[in-house]
Structure 1
């Protein structure tokens, strides 16, 4: 794989995660956790793009300084490690003053490390440009050696802290957040593998051994995979939760259709009858369908018959239907009968009857889930029978 692509691709993933998070950041700008997450994604994206060999060569050429990209990449990577720790500090929470103090301390320490990296590079002599193996090529060069060690230690601290604390949190949550944390932990483990490969290769150089392949060929794929996992970990809780919510709304929208079709002729309010564009979200469509159903139920209320419900309940009980399901079927039968009675009254231009003092009340329309369950009973033969009897002329019913 191209040396650039192996880092550019996960960089794009982190950038996508940041773009997905931006709307939430605008809404919750004062939330330090959200700011820390976005800072982490931004810095991580910068690390991956700047560490790619084509970018390294371009930056060196642009600045005219041999190996200028080395301190630049190390400083940005150090900022990434500091962002990891700052994120954990804010995630853990606690007294605001303590969180602020620890965050300032973290920023101060990593800012100091960044300054030290720049100073060490300025003091070092690195005349030969190295695009892929600078860590091992200059592992024994004065000041370059200290710079390389310092950035590896700082990065190790940030990666270990992020991985360990996400692992602890992983065992306390579930759902999409748990999956996201698991991906971040996996990314952290891969990143620790990257650091280990770098350290071993550098230590080997100190011992006059050539294990450069660990740094040059093993470490970059591990860094790429780690970035992909961490980016996916930040994306998944938001996208996964959104997808789950949308799918649930879609299922409810579909399952409400029998009840909606039953009441469609009884719906009169402007809000319930207005057309919804094809571009409308599933959630909006579901809410619109629920509004139409409740409007229809309100209109057929004067035609609800307790005797129809009683007959349907008795029939369902005789058929061995469980009590709760039988009551729901009886409710559906009463609604179906009321729809036919209202339709007949509308054709005759008759006003709706005054409800008696003991008029039946609907019991299964108080929330969306129960409304969906009620809708699913409209395929019952008991409901079909109630609908058929309500549609028959009264004379036929008494013959």
Structure 2
């Protein structure tokens, strides 16, 4: 048993002075803990849950033009995945949800981490995202048209062992020729996807920027809206009424608009600037309606690197969330979205996914940067 001694525990349940005891992959005690086989003095520091990023693309490496990765072999992609996993866990990210990759590369990565063959966070993966023919992300997605084809495409991902089924409900920023907010999958197609996933008890996620696509996804029963750039009051109220989660991925837009003249395609830059102008009001509407917000970054997109995932908490605070709300989004709410009941808190019988921080994250969202220690499933990786 290893004991983190004399620290301050900070999570969604509040702040308390407590020791934390870890054995194997779990937290065995929090509070007045007896002597451990080994101990680390964390006096003056804060023990918090590891971060959960509910939207990443492990096969992407932050290059300015993602389309140039189309020619990469599966072997090349596997090396990118391994490097991204290592960067993420060293940054204090202990669970990631991959929402679209070529073939089975992200699903395979999840098995490799679980079996101890790769260092990294726990991986939940969608397999290939389901997309209309020629739609957003078509080059690494599973193209399908009409409810029957969509249902089959979803079932293919489920057969592979997908933890979530992801689709593209609207166009996107990074696909040439796609209109960011325009609907791509119809309500009937989205309903077929939800029906297929629901039969296996698997949640769903929809890339959706524009209002019509968001409402189609919500009405169809999609579990989470990814990006949601053009959420207005009507869309936010609909999401709140159906308990639909929102994963904003602020880092995706910010890292594009903050890097002009850097090799990002002009069309993508223009679409990102237009989307960024609307994004702040999306946060306002979502907060006012009481939409559940879970942290996700879209890590892997241009200049959106896995070792900078913690930037998302600061971005969320810039857009109006409190540091406490950002902490909840990145821990307990993201855990709920992912269907995990053993992460997100520093509590007995929870998985030992922990970070040790020098500053209180309830005071400053930047406290998540550069953790002094990281434990993933009980193993100290930093």
| TM-score for the superposition, normalised by structure 1 | 0.21
Name the structure, 1 or 2, with higher relative contact order (CA <8 Å, separation 6+).
2
The structure with the greater share of residues assigned to strand is: 2
The structure with the greater share of residues assigned to helix is: 1
| TM-score for the superposition, normalised by structure 2 | 0.21
